[in-house]
Amino acid sequence: MHYPHPESSRTQAFRWARTGLMRRCGRIQCQRAVSEVRHANPVASFDEAREIGLDRTDLVSMYRNMLLTRGIEDRGRTLFKQGKIPGSFYTGLGNEASAVAIGSAMGPDDVGTPIQRNIGVHLARGTQPWKILAQYMGRQGGPSVGRDGNVHFAEFDLGLITMVSHLPAMLPVATGCALAFRIRDEQRVAVGWFGDGSSARGDAHEAMNLAGTRELPVVFICNNNHFAYSTPNRLEYAIEHLAERALAYGFDGVVVDGTELLSVYRETHLAIEKARSGGGPTLIESVTLRLEGHGVHDDASYVPRELIDEYRDRDPIDQFHRWLVEHVDFTPDEQRELESAVKQALNEALKLAEASPEPNADSLLDGVYAARDALEAPHFS
Ligand SMILES: Cc1ncc(C[n+]2csc(CCOP(=O)(O)OP(=O)(O)O)c2C)c(N)n1
Ligand SMILES: [Mg+2]
């Protein structure tokens, strides 16, 4: 099946809807505004990066985390083909910049609920690469201790909460965390992720509506990668940009090019600091393309070739490499050194992960139920 370019057809559908609406309104002066949502600007110089608190070391470290993200997923693909990963395997190819930028912009005490395609968030928060590979292979060393596959995991100690499969069920969790921060008078912010497909479900509306009415310290990130399985954007929603929905909840929305690391970083940084200082939520729509199928079982033959070519040309890692060369004189020697350090880190990670045993069957119920004294919720005291 061939779908036309989702971007252009969506804009076209939106225009038709608007014309129809104006026609139905007849002589009544009724005009529906075309999208007024803000579009983020690129970060055009090192000075602009410094203004949001980033020095050269921070920039190179985010670049390293993008290389690591892609490297881990490349290893995962190979492990899957070797039959070492049970179930299926999902990647975030094309989403590395967005994931690393947001994970890096979060403060040390902030919490987040990353979802599928967000390995870069885990790495930016400090999850060790070997633990991620161990997770993929269902080993004891993985954050879920061998209980689940490659997307349902997170390290709580790093401020990340494990996703459940039902999407976007983690948005109400993020809003709930933000409400708890408000009640406890803590200067912390919650970050909740969801996809373009998941945006159509009630949980997304409920979470954003509650956050808007209470002006909670939460930032919503919509990873809009053009598809939900094989369903293109134009069959998912009838507005121009998902970020427009923020206006209906009474807070700001912004569309950002998710292939540009620093644009995503700046928007997230600003939204988090606004939330922390009492300014309420923001919805950031980070636009990318899912550069592979939904999982390894899907050949993505329904994605138009020209769309893939367009986004391959805008590869987030290559783009940021060019930015570093242009703005901070990143040298070929530094590039070689970094690539070899990343390769070495991945080799070591793989060794540790493969050495990690499979879980014992008699540990199956460990961690399923929380111990009563481990809970600090007031209604237990
Ligand atoms: C409530 C619910 N329905 C269906 C699914 C099955 N499912 C898993 S991922 C997915 C596609 C989600 O699309 P999107 O939100 O755009 O995220 P993407 O996979 O594109 O990153 C679906 C339908 C699910 N996990 N939860
Ligand atoms: Mg999607």
The pLDDT, as a whole number, for residue 34 is 61
Calculate how far, in angstroms, residue 231's C-alpha sits from the geometric centre of ligand 2. 9
Q: In angstroms, how far is the first alpha carbon of the chain from the final one?
A: 58
In-domain check, residue 87: yes
For the CA of 229, the closest atom of ligand 1 is 11
Q: For residue 146, give its domain range.
A: 38-357
The pLDDT, as a whole number, for residue 368 is 79
* Segments of the chain with pLDDT less than 50: 1-32, 379-381
The pLDDT, as a whole number, for residue 125 is 98
Of the CA atoms within 13 Å of residue 358, those in its CB half-sphere come to 8
Calculate how far, in angstroms, residue 109's C-alpha sits from the geometric centre of ligand 2. 28
CA-CA distance, 195 to 310, in Å (whole number)? 21
> Token pair of 345, please?
């880190």
Best mutation site among 167, 196, 221 for ligand 1 pocket (most ligand atoms within 8 Å of CB): 167
Residue 150 and residue 69 in contact, taking contact as beta carbons nearer than 8 Å: no
Neighbour count for residue 347 (Cβ, 10 Å) = 12
Alpha-carbon torsion 10, 11, 16, 21, what sign? positive
Calculate how far, in angstroms, residue 13's C-alpha sits from the geometric centre of ligand 1. 23
In-domain check, residue 255: yes
Calculate how far, in angstroms, residue 21's C-alpha sits from the geometric centre of ligand 1. 31
The pLDDT, as a whole number, for residue 36 is 78
The pLDDT, as a whole number, for residue 236 is 97
The pLDDT, as a whole number, for residue 166 is 96
Best mutation site among 73, 198, 311 for ligand 1 pocket (most ligand atoms within 8 Å of CB): 198
In-domain check, residue 362: no
> Token pair of 283, please?
């919805």
Domains of the chain: total: 1
Residue 218 and residue 190 in contact, taking contact as beta carbons nearer than 8 Å: yes
The pLDDT, as a whole number, for residue 378 is 54
Burial class (CB in 10 A: 0-12, 13-18, 19+), 342: buried
Q: Supply the residue whose CA is at minimum distance from atom 11 of ligand 1.
A: 228
Provide the whole-model pTM. 0.91
For the CA of 199, the closest atom of ligand 1 is 15
Regarding the beta carbon of 166 and ligand 1, being less than 6 Å apart is answered: yes
Which region, left, alpha or beta, applies to residue 250 given φ > 0 means left and ψ of -120 to 50 means alpha?
A: left
Cis peptide bond prior to 42, omega within 30° of 0: no
In-domain check, residue 82: yes
The string of pLDDT tens digits covering residues 114-136 is 999 999 999 999 999 999 999 99
Residue 181 and residue 217 in contact, taking contact as beta carbons nearer than 8 Å: yes
In-domain check, residue 25: no
CATH of the domain at 272: 3.40.50.970
